[in-house]
Chain A
């Protein structure tokens, strides 16, 4: 039943393009940039004097997955700690839904495009504006996978990144489970047919009923107690899916490591050549990115400096973290944000 509900949430939308902006975000600076392939992107800067950090969201999300309100914002938290925090809306998400001429972004982009065009453009802009030689990278879920694409395929990544943090980012899709396997099968079927899958209306409907009666909630969080926060999360974060990225995820239905859109590059294997300091964080109760699908990211990386964190009670955390708990959970600001700060500030 769950895949059906996920499909319903994914297909029920009708083209919302703007996302609500929490009041605290009004203080952030907006920077509009272009990628080398013509996409327009919005960066939201929470400025401070310290080292710059690029923060990237996951699939069907936007920057608010790291910046929901004053109490649940890695960007605000890092800025208060002296870091220059930059939130990126990947193409087609959040404030990056239109190109430089005001038209809808050209459709059909893949996950590879995020790592090979969007992130390099954002990194270059941040280096140019701040004068910093290096930028730290923090990605949640697919955002961490995008970081892997960038680190393994863009030659300047080793020069430009000071550190990477991948949070709840699955890289191993072997032994597919029934629910995820069905979702990947659905992605494989629908990706080639739909240029963009509008998911926000389904999320809006879920927010409107205000609680957690749907199984999809069990996939997303385990430690967000306030129903209003959950409703805000659904209203603010969910963004459309690209048919191209669904097609790329559909390749994973046959198992193996996360691969390029043409199937030729196994990014999990390619991580062996990455030398960038890497922290990988997994949530014990994460049903989108179970620990055994995230751990290989850490295990395969060639980085001489690397760290793996398991956010769960057995490891001393106050909660067993679900997928969205890692960025927005009730204990994220106390337990996850400091880990990220300490890693990028080594």
Chain B
């Protein structure tokens, strides 16, 4: 474990063992650069409540957006080398790094992760995020690596290339998620080989349609993510 941490830190990025469980199948939670890691506590708790060992990858704010993918790939490989097959969970733009970094998890849970360019970009008028924060819901901010927020703006209309995951993948989206509405999640993923699609909110009888931030904070969704990751164990 010390070796893993040292390797990750050597890349100026933080891979750390979160929560209290120290053994069991490893599940890596990718913190979206620019979002406070505390916002993921519910995911960590839900994962560890199922006997898995939650780890988090949090890009160092001193790094750059361009280097995050490589750092994530390195950290993921280091964790897998130490612990065997790992599963990965991500929310929002953090999931784009997971797709483009070329990591190969055993199972993948993507919540509110855009998988393609928006059909209508609209006015990008947020000061920090591409849209006003009132459209995003609660998004506790953190210092982001240079260029990360610009990358998010670019991805709205010019999405990066990636290879569709072959691992079983859970996709959760909400009609009211400005970052990853279903048309940029369900439609681009229709050819994925092992995908589980779920629309959160009214049409699934799970309350009102959540915003982007609410998708991360919703405890039922956190439990669903943990349940899906555990199914592979």
A interface residues, Cβ below 8 angstroms from B: 1-2, 174-175, 177-180, 215, 218-219, 284-287, 290-292, 295-296, 298, 308-310, 312-316, 320
CA distance A273 to B208 in the complex (A): 39
Report if A295-B209 is in contact (Cβ < 8 Å); known contacts: A314-B178, A315-B122: no
Minimum CB–CB distance for A204 against chain B, Å: 24
- CB of A285 within 8 A of CB of B209, answer yes
Stretch at the interface among B44-52, B85-93, B140-148, B182-190: B182-190
* B175 on interface, CB distance cutoff 8 Å: yes
- CB of A308 within 8 A of CB of B119, answer yes
Report if A284-B205 is in contact (Cβ < 8 Å); known contacts: A309-B120, A310-B120: no
* B226 on interface, CB distance cutoff 8 Å: no
Chain B CB count within 10 A is highest, among A175, A285, A313, for A175
- CB of A178 within 8 A of CB of B204, answer yes
- CB of A315 within 8 A of CB of B120, answer yes
CA distance A284 to B119 in the complex (A): 12
Report if A320-B120 is in contact (Cβ < 8 Å); known contacts: A175-B186, A296-B187: no
A-B CB contact pairs (8 Å), 21 listed: A2-B202, A2-B205, A174-B186, A175-B186, A175-B190, A177-B204, A178-B205, A180-B203, A218-B202, A284-B176, A284-B181, A287-B202, A291-B175, A292-B181, A292-B182, A292-B183, A292-B185, A296-B187, A298-B119, A308-B120, A314-B178
* Neighbour of B186 across the interface among A292, A298, A310, CB < 8 A: A292
CA distance A310 to B176 in the complex (A): 12
A178 neighbours in B (Cβ, 8 Å): 203-205
* B197 on interface, CB distance cutoff 8 Å: yes
- CB of B123 within 8 A of CB of A316, answer yes
Interface 1/0 per residue, B168-183 and A, CB below 8 Å = 0000000110100111
Number of A-B contacts (CB under 8 A): 72
Q: How many residues of B contact A (CB 8 A)?
A: 24
Minimum CB–CB distance for A25 against chain B, Å: 33
- CB of A290 within 8 A of CB of B122, answer no
Minimum CB–CB distance for B117 against chain A, Å: 12
Minimum CB–CB distance for A343 against chain B, Å: 15
CA distance A308 to B178 in the complex (A): 17
A298 neighbours in B (Cβ, 8 Å): 119
* Neighbour of A290 across the interface among B182, B190, B208, CB < 8 A: B182
* Neighbour of B208 across the interface among A175, A218, A286, A310, CB < 8 A: A218
* B1 on interface, CB distance cutoff 8 Å: no
B interface residues, Cβ below 8 angstroms from A: 119-120, 122-123, 131, 135, 175-176, 178, 181-183, 185-187, 190, 197, 199, 202-205, 208-209
- What would 14 more interface pairs be, CB under 8 Å, given A284-B176, A285-B209? A2-B202, A179-B204, A215-B202, A219-B202, A284-B181, A290-B203, A291-B175, A291-B182, A298-B119, A310-B119, A312-B122, A313-B135, A314-B131, A314-B135
Report if A320-B183 is in contact (Cβ < 8 Å); known contacts: A1-B205, A180-B203, A218-B208: no
Minimum CB–CB distance for A49 against chain B, Å: 34
B209 neighbours in A (Cβ, 8 Å): 285, 287
CA distance A218 to B135 in the complex (A): 19
Chain A residue at minimal CB-CB distance from B196: A175
CA distance A309 to B199 in the complex (A): 22
- CB of A177 within 8 A of CB of B203, answer yes
Which are the 7 A-B pairs with shortest beta-carbon distances? A315-B122, A292-B182, A177-B203, A292-B183, A310-B120, A314-B178, A179-B203
CA distance A174 to B119 in the complex (A): 19
B190 neighbours in A (Cβ, 8 Å): 174-175
- CB of B122 within 8 A of CB of A285, answer no
CA distance A179 to B200 in the complex (A): 12
B123 neighbours in A (Cβ, 8 Å): 315-316
A312 neighbours in B (Cβ, 8 Å): 122
A292 neighbours in B (Cβ, 8 Å): 181-183, 185-187
Minimum CB–CB distance for A148 against chain B, Å: 18
Minimum CB–CB distance for A257 against chain B, Å: 12
Minimum CB–CB distance for B173 against chain A, Å: 8
B208 neighbours in A (Cβ, 8 Å): 218
Chain B residue at minimal CB-CB distance from A314: B178
Minimum CB–CB distance for A161 against chain B, Å: 24
